Amino acid sequence: MSRTAPGVAILVALALVPLAVRDRYFLSVFTLANLYAAIAASWDLLSGYTGRENFGHAVFIGTGAYTAALLNTRLHLSPVLGIAAGGGAVVALAILVGVPTLRLRGPYFALATLAVAGIMERLALLLWPLTGGEDGVYGVQPLSLSAPTTYYTTLAFMAIVVLGLYWATRSEWGMVLRAIRANEEACEASGLNVTVYKMGALVLSALPAGLAGGLYAHVQEHVGPAVYSAALSVTVIIMTVIGGIGTIYGAAAGGFLLTALGEVLRGFGPYRLLLFSAILLPVILFWPRGVVVQLAGRLRRG
């Protein structure tokens, strides 16, 4: 069975969703799922391929979101420009954060990124005249008044991100990233400027997250400090871990799975997080390489 066939089938299925789902609320869930899938895929690029686990990915989502929201509400910039500006801001931030932190490894890199995200979250609260503090920014222009249009926009975005990142990982550049994960010093000894590659991975990982943040601002029409939260960062990681690290499509699938799970559990009211975590514990324990990836492997062999 060809590698691309399942992917194409899934895309076609996703494209048909608005025809089957008329309820505005459920369509919005799918819309958010698209954004999460793109974000998880972007996280996987850095963490799955260079072995640097970023525990503060929300810092890129949040910066993209706030930039787009503020530019739209204060300066009345169109969503397209605001989101693009958010993307630019995030690239600059990635370089700023990357220069001092990329030489750290393992838990140290995770902690440094966690600390950066934590500081940004506190700042979003402290700088309340700018950011609206706890309440955040309201009145962001919606991406489109038509729910299906919004859905298709996010679907296209997700497809471009996932395909683009997947293609990047299959390239020579992606091969170098995998080599860096395996043994950084041997890469240096092979004549490769490892720092530039890591920085490239960080920037390429940050950009989709920032753009997704901007899209999120215009979909929800509101941005609050939760977009910088550690909870969001950890959620993204869990999505990727559940789906399968190091494959890009695994992460995207994890994004969909977890969003779906969250929705299914919504009916349990205050107990949904309890059930959510209770379900996740055995899943991580029994499928540490990721449910989707392990299942896909079994299907391919069977």
Partner 1 sequence: MALLTTEGLTKRFGGLTAVDTLTFAVDAGDLVGIIGPNGAGKTTLFSLLSGFLRPDDGAVVFKGHRISGRPPYRIVDQGLARTFQVVRPFTNMTVVENVATACVSPRARRMSRGRDVWQHAMEIIAAVELEKKARHPVETLPFGDLRRLEIARALATHPELLLLDEPFSGLSISEAAPLETLIGTLAQRGTTILIVEHKLRELMRLVRRVIVMQFGQIIAEGSPAVVAQSPRVVEAYLGGTP
Partner 2 sequence: MVDVLILGAINSAVYAMLALGFTLIFGVGRVVNLAHGSFYAMGVYIAYTLVVVLGLPLIVGTTAAVLAVAGIGLAMDRVLIRPLRHSVLAVLIITVVFALFVEQVIFAFYGYTSRNIPSFTTNTLTVLGVTVAGQRAIAFAAGVIALSLVWLLVYRTRFGSAILAVSQDREAATYLGIDVDHVSRTVMVLSAALAAMAGVLVAPVLVVSPQMWVLPLIKSFAVVILGGLGSIPGSLLASVLLGYSETAVSRFVSSTLTELIPLVLILVTLLVRPSGLLGRRIEL
Residues forming the site for partner 2 (CB under 8 A):
47, 53, 55, 100-101, 103-108, 110-112, 114-116, 118-119, 122, 126, 230, 234, 237-238, 241, 245, 270-271, 273-274, 276-278, 280-281, 284-285, 288
CA distance 250 to 256: 10
Residue 232: CA count within 13 A, CB half-sphere: 21
Shortest distance (Å) from residue 43 CB to partner 2: 11
Using rule CB under 8 A, residue 289 touches partner 1 = no
Shortest distance (Å) from residue 182 CB to partner 1: 4
If one counts every other C-beta atom within 10 angstroms of the C-beta of residue 10, the result is: 15
Scan residues 228-267 and list those touching partner 1 (CB under 8 A).
Answer: none
78 binds, among partner 2, partner 1, none (CB under 5 to 8 A by kind): none
Q: Decide: helix, strand or coil at residue 23.
A: coil
| Nearer of residues 78 and 190 to partner 1, judged by Cβ | 190
11 binds, among partner 2, partner 1, none (CB under 5 to 8 A by kind): none
CA distance 269 to 241: 26
Shortest distance (Å) from residue 178 CB to partner 1: 6
Handedness of CA 263, 265, 270, 271 (dihedral sign): negative
CA distance 145 to 257: 27
With the CA atoms of 160, 53, 210 and 127 taken in that order, what torsion angle do they form, in degrees rounded to the nearest 10?
170
Q: x/- binding map, residues 126-165, to partner 1, per CB under 8 A?
A: ----------------------------------------
CA distance 80 to 108: 37
Positions that interact with partner 1 (CB under 8 A)? 172, 175-176, 178-179, 182-183, 185-194
